[in-house]
């Protein structure tokens, strides 16, 4: 069933069962309370005269992990969420970044993988911190809209990490996805 623009009643015209089913029953079944299943979900537009329920998702890893990789990697315990979504999502991520070598930078970025894709793309937006000394660290957040590789359907978003040099330590990693 789908939404049908409500009819305009005319005086002395019979209101039929078929009309009731189309304009009352079927249209009510396209409203938010009909679509809602889960506490804490969001109801968003899914196109012309369509709404859909979306479930925010979160993943965390509070353990300090290290890497000396200069290309993006998932670390020993990937932080990743899989959501059912429209064409976009709002994504927030937080991490604590440090490096054992002064002047080197730690980077945290996102990889978006649409179901069935064979080459997930790493987004260029990143949270980064350059340590002026080995005992410096930064813990903060970054926010973005979903990037390259994201499509309507089932998407997996993964935090990726790398360094410019030295060995980076990443902990308190939190990923929050609000699918739209």
Partner 1 sequence: MAWTAPMTFVANQVLTAAQLNTHLRDNLNECPTAKATTSGSYFVGNGPNSVVERSPETARVSAYQTTTSASYDNLVGTVGPTVTVTTGTKALIFIGCLTSNSLSDRMNAMSWRVSGATTRASLDATAARIDGITAGNLVTATSTDLMTDLTPGSNTFTAEYKVGSGTGTFGDRFIAVLPL
- According to DSSP, the residues that pair with 43 across neighbouring strands are 53
Closer residue to partner 1 (CB): 34 or 154:
34
Q: Which stretch binds partner 1 (CB under 8 A): 68-76, 91-99, 116-124, 155-163?
A: 91-99
SS3 content of the chain, % helix, strand, coil (to 5): 10, 50, 40
The alpha-carbon radius of gyration of the chain (Å, integer) is 23
Closest distance between partner 1 and the C-beta of residue 148, in Å? 22
Residues 6 or more apart whose CB falls under 8 angstroms from that of 48 comprise none
- According to DSSP, the residues that pair with 145 across neighbouring strands are 90
- Spell out, one character per residue from 117 to 136, where the chain touches partner 1: x when CB under 8 A holds, - when not: --------------xxx-xx
Closest C-alpha to 163, from 76, 74, 68 = 68
Among residues 2, 7, 28, 64, the one that binds partner 1 under rule CB under 8 A: 28
CA distance 38 to 41: 6
Site for partner 1 contains 32 (CB under 8 A): yes
Closest distance between partner 1 and the C-beta of residue 152, in Å? 20
Residues 6 or more apart whose CB falls under 8 angstroms from that of 130 comprise 99, 103, 104, 105, 164
Among residues 6, 25, 47, 115, the one that binds partner 1 under rule CB under 8 A: 25
Closer residue to partner 1 (CB): 41 or 117:
41
Task: Catalog residues that contact partner 1 under the rule CB under 8 A.
Answer: 15-18, 20-21, 24-26, 28-29, 31-34, 36-43, 53, 56, 58, 60, 62, 92, 94, 96, 98, 131-133, 135-141, 143, 172, 174, 176, 178
């Amino acid at each position: 069933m789908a939404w049908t623009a409500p009819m305009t009643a005319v005086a002395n015209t019979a209101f039929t069962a078929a009309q009731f089913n189309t304009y009352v029953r079927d249209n009510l079944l396209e409203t938010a309370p009909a679509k809602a299943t889960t506490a804490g979900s969001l109801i968003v537009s899914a196109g012309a005269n369509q709404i859909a329920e979306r479930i925010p998702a979160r993943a965390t890893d509070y353990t300090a992990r290290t890497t000396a990789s200069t290309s993006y990697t998932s670390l020993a315990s990937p932080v990743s969420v899989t959501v059912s979504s429209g064409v976009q999502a709002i994504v927030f991520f937080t991490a604590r970044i440090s490096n054992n070598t002064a002047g080197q930078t730690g980077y945290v970025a996102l990889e978006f993988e649409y179901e069935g894709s064979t080459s997930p793309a790493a987004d260029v937006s990143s949270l980064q911190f350059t340590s002026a000394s080995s005992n410096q660290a930064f813990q903060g957040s970054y926010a973005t809209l979903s990037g390259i590789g994201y499509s309507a359907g089932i998407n997996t978003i993964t935090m990726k990490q790398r360094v410019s040099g030295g060995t980076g330590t990443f902990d308190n990693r939190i990923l929050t996805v609000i699918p739209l």
